[in-house]
Each structure stands twice: as C-alpha cells, then as structure tokens.
Amino acid sequence: MNEGAKPRRGIARVVLTAGAELWGLFVDDGMLACALVAWCCLAILGLPAIGVEPAWRAPLLLAGCLVTLVIDVLATALRRRALRGASTSQ
C-alpha cells in the first residue's frame, strides 16, 4: 500500500505544481482577479437584464474593468503606506 502511495504522491506533487504555475499565469492578486471575473459576469448577465441600452454595454464593461484595476492599485498603495507607517513608528 505504501509503495503505491509514493508514486501517487509524486504525481500529485507534479499536478499541484503545474496547477500552481498555471494559476500564477493569470492570478497575482486574488482580489483583482475575483473582482474582474465578477464584473465580467455581472456585465454580461446583468447589463442586458436591467435594460441598459446596447450602445452603453461595451463602454460600461470597459469602465468597470478600469475602475477595478485603479481601486486595486490604490488599495495596494494604501496598504504599503500603512506598512511603512507601522515600521517607522516601531
């Protein structure tokens, strides 16, 4: 049983490493990735459902993605400032 478990653990490790590498291709900051996916889903399903004019759907999709990026970058900057403030006050 133990002999069979070793190769299985080896394969699992390779699969996990490959999965982590693949994940890292697209996701650096989990919050940004989740927010972008959520906005895309919301825009695709929600904008037509609430009756947004067809001409406005594409610009709103773009605007939402940009707002998401800008908020994420500024939140990272604020976190960095808070960290610096904490380290200088110690």
Partner 1 sequence: MNVWKELGPTVLASFLASFVEFVEALTIVLAVWTVRGARSALAGAAAGCVLLAILVFALGPLLRFVPLDTLRVAVGVLLLLFGMRWLRKAILRSAGILALHDESREFATETASLAGSRASITLGIDLGGAGATFNAVVLEGLEVVFIVVALGATGGMLIPASLGAAAAGVVVILLGFIVHRPLARVPENSLKFVVGILISSFGVFWVGEGAGFDWVGRDLAIIGIAVIVLLASVLTVPIARRIVDPVNKAGIPGVPQ
Which parts of this chain interact with partner 1 (CB under 8 A)?
A: 21-22, 25-29, 32-33, 36-37, 40, 43-44, 54-55, 57-58, 61-62, 65-66, 68-70, 72-74, 76-78, 80-81, 84
Determine the 3-state secondary structure of 90 from DSSP.
coil
CB of 4 to partner 1, least distance (A): 26
The tally of CA atoms less than 13 A away on the side-chain side of residue 52 is: 15
CB of 15 or CB of 37, closer to partner 1: 37
Q: How far is the CB of 9 from partner 1 (least distance, A)?
A: 20
HEC letters along 16-82: HHHHHHHHHHHCCCHHHHHHHHHHHHHHHHHHHHCCCCHHHHHHHHHHHHHHHHHHHHHHHHHHHHH
Q: Which is nearer to partner 1, 12 or 63 (CB)?
A: 63
**CB nearer partner 1, residue 5 or residue 42:** 42
